[in-house]
Amino acid sequence: MALKTGQQYEESLRKLNLKVYLQGELVKNPVDHPIIRPSMNSVKMTYELAQDPQYAELMTATSHLTGKKVNRFCHLHQSADDLVKKVKMQRLLGQKTAACFQRCVGMDAINAVDSTTFEMDQKLGTKYHERFNKFLLKMQEEDWTVDGAMTDPKGDRSLSPSKQVDPDLFVHVVEKREDGIVVSGAKAHQTGAINSHWILVMPTISMTKDDADYAVSFCAPADAEGVFYIYGRQSCDTRKLEGGSIDVGNKQFGGHEALMVFDNVFIPWENVFMCGEYEFSGMLVERFAGYHRQSYGGCKVGVGDVLIGAAAVAAEFNGAAKASHVKDKLIEMMHLNETLYACGIACSAEGHKTASGNYIIDLLLANVCKQNVTRFPYEIARLAEDIAGGLMVTMPSEKDLRHPEIGKVVEKYFRGVASVSTENRMRILRLIENITLGTAAVGYRTESMHGAGSPQAQRIMISRQGNLDQKKELAKAIAGVK
């Protein structure tokens, strides 16, 4: 089975024995839980579009291991064209879901682990790359959703992992055995964790010799013994428990994050890809971060397309579409959105081959892409809120609209242009609210700031890779400075 259908994916999740806590309760059936279900639908879309012939070029690729067609989310990039198609695929999925579709982090993780383990083996004589290829082959054959896990809770940021009061604030090896290792700790902000088949863990920062026990990378089943999840709270999330289809804004799709806890979890050696090789931890972090910063030039742009469209519709429903300032704001939103896309495409087109054979983006341009993502979606959201008007956050509920007595009052006083029903006006405003302030805001607004590293992390990389000395020499040569 190289390509799962959406329904096969859903059924595969039902077979997992995940231990998930949500609002203080153990969830018996994560797949059908009304708060979790929309996020599962978003991942399901990555499977459904891969089955659609019109999207096959973007959604699928040819495996370099088997020569078979695989989902692009399970693929190692074999060319700059693959990198470009990745960004185009992410924009497409953002347009189809207006939410986070969650598989990007696993795709970026496998590409980073591939080249890092290859170079690690070349220098140290280890056998990690061979192990990783066996996992990747199975991932492609089973079309797994893999949750890349990098961010640790970190505790006191002024202290290194080994100096923390509580050693579990970073995932670390607590025991090495003949048959494998035992790990303890947690990964935070885990996008799509509950909708994944496997976990691919990586270190979160560049480690020193003192932190060797924290320089660990491995894979584990999402329902492995000792692994459990605490589901992250989102704005307006309990609206999904109310029924109805207006107030949630985006009833069908969504995203999620969770705290992923490893309570003395055993990992067989065959699933270990780094164990103490601290000198390669920085390489793995840098490469994963670069791939993931590229990703934001696709997924956030796709969601931005929906938000811009919603703002334009809201302007029409409000009777303000012909106002010059509204037209100018929509132009500005499109300009910002396409600039993000241009950066995602540019860092992809400038990609190059690594020693293992897979392709990596231009890291400088990927960091420029993500630095823009920390700013532009906020301005796009601000302009959308401006165009939408205050009713977006003051209108009554769907239950009021449906009420046998006051419903007529709501219908009368919250209508915009006469040709558009109050219900449709409320629907488009709730969608804007969802993307800018509600549950989707996690995957669009806040994640634009903190996902794939904080703004300062990108600025550090831009400083390292911007080659300022070369620019100084160019200026001296033109100016005739000896």
When pLDDT is averaged across residues 332-351 and rounded to a whole number, the result is: 98
Active site residue 296: yes
Q: Is residue 481 part of a domain?
A: no
Catalytic option among 10, 75, 97, 104? 104
What percent of the chain has a predicted confidence (pLDDT) above 90?
97
Active site residue 257: yes
Catalytic option among 128, 278, 296, 359? 296
Catalytic option among 10, 286, 316, 447? 447
Of 309, 281, 339, 310, nearest in space to 113 by CA: 281
Q: What are 113's two structure tokens?
A: 């682990």
Do 453 and 370 form a contact (C-beta atoms < 8 A)?
Answer: yes
Catalytic option among 74, 100, 275, 343? 100
Helices (H), 226-358: 281-318, 324-349
Q: Are residues 316 and 241 in the same domain?
A: no
Q: Is residue 249 part of a domain?
A: yes
pLDDT at position 440: 82
- Crossing angle of helices 128-142 and 104-124, rounded to 10°: 150
pLDDT at position 1: 67
Q: Are residues 293 and 268 in the same domain?
A: no
pLDDT tens, position by position, 217-263: 999 999 999 999 999 999 999 999 999 999 999 999 999 999 999 99
How many domains does the chain contain in total?
Answer: 2
Domain with residue 275: its CATH number is 2.40.110.10
| Residue at token pair 């640790």 | 152
Which pLDDT band, with edges at 50, 70 and 90, does 446 fall under? confident
Q: What are 59's two structure tokens?
A: 């959604």
Q: What are 135's two structure tokens?
A: 């996992």
- Crossing angle of helices 324-349 and 281-318, rounded to 10°: 160
Rounded to an integer, what distance in angstroms lies between the CA atom of residue 87 and that of residue 83?
Answer: 7
Q: Is residue 309 part of a domain?
A: yes
pLDDT at position 376: 98
Q: Are residues 61 and 190 in the same domain?
A: yes
Neighbouring CB atoms inside 10 A of 417's CB total 12
Helices (H), 30-162: 37-50, 56-59, 80-97, 104-124, 128-142
Active site residue 299: yes
Q: Are residues 262 and 328 in the same domain?
A: no
Q: Are residues 263 and 335 in the same domain?
A: no
Show the domain range for 226: 6-279
Active site residue 104: yes
pLDDT tens, position by position, 361-409: 999 999 999 999 999 999 999 999 999 999 999 999 999 999 999 999 9
Q: Is residue 478 part of a domain?
A: no
Do 333 and 407 form a contact (C-beta atoms < 8 A)?
Answer: no
Q: Are residues 40 and 146 in the same domain?
A: yes
Q: Is residue 202 part of a domain?
A: yes
pLDDT at position 316: 98
Element (H, E) at 376: helix 376-388
Which pLDDT band, with edges at 50, 70 and 90, does 271 fall under? very high
Catalytic option among 219, 299, 347, 369? 299
Active site residue 256: no
Q: Is residue 123 part of a domain?
A: yes
Residue 174 CB contacts under 8 Å (≥ 6 apart), including other chains: 182, 183, 184, 213, 264
Q: Is residue 156 part of a domain?
A: yes
Rounded to an integer, what distance in angstroms lies between the CA atom of residue 406 and that of residue 397?
Answer: 11
Which pLDDT band, with edges at 50, 70 and 90, does 196 fall under? very high
pLDDT at position 69: 97
Q: Are residues 44 and 11 in the same domain?
A: yes
Domain boundary among 279, 310, 331: 279
Domain boundary among 254, 279, 304: 279
Q: Are residues 17 and 91 in the same domain?
A: yes
Catalytic option among 47, 60, 151, 257? 257
Catalytic option among 172, 189, 197, 292? 292
Q: What is the pTM of this model?
A: 0.97
Do 214 and 170 form a contact (C-beta atoms < 8 A)?
Answer: yes
Q: Are residues 300 and 418 in the same domain?
A: yes
Domain boundary among 279, 309, 326: 279
Q: Is the model's pLDDT at 439 over the cut of 90?
A: no
Mean model confidence pLDDT for the chain: 97
Q: Are residues 219 and 357 in the same domain?
A: no
pLDDT tens, position by position, 91-146: 999 999 999 999 999 999 999 999 999 999 999 999 999 999 999 999 999 999 99
Backbone angles phi, psi at 444, to 5 degrees: -115, -55
Active site residue 292: yes
Q: Are residues 208 and 78 in the same domain?
A: yes
Active site residue 335: no
Using CA atoms, how far residue 318 sits from 71, 416, 423, in Å, is 42, 5, 13
Domain with residue 411: its CATH number is 1.20.140.10
Do 212 and 279 form a contact (C-beta atoms < 8 A)?
Answer: no
Q: Are residues 238 and 315 in the same domain?
A: no
Q: Is residue 360 part of a domain?
A: yes
Cα atoms found within 13 Å of the Cα of residue 202, Cβ hemisphere only: 32
Residue type, 217: S
Of 251, 300, 304, 254, nearest in space to 42 by CA: 254
Catalytic option among 191, 354, 374, 439? 191
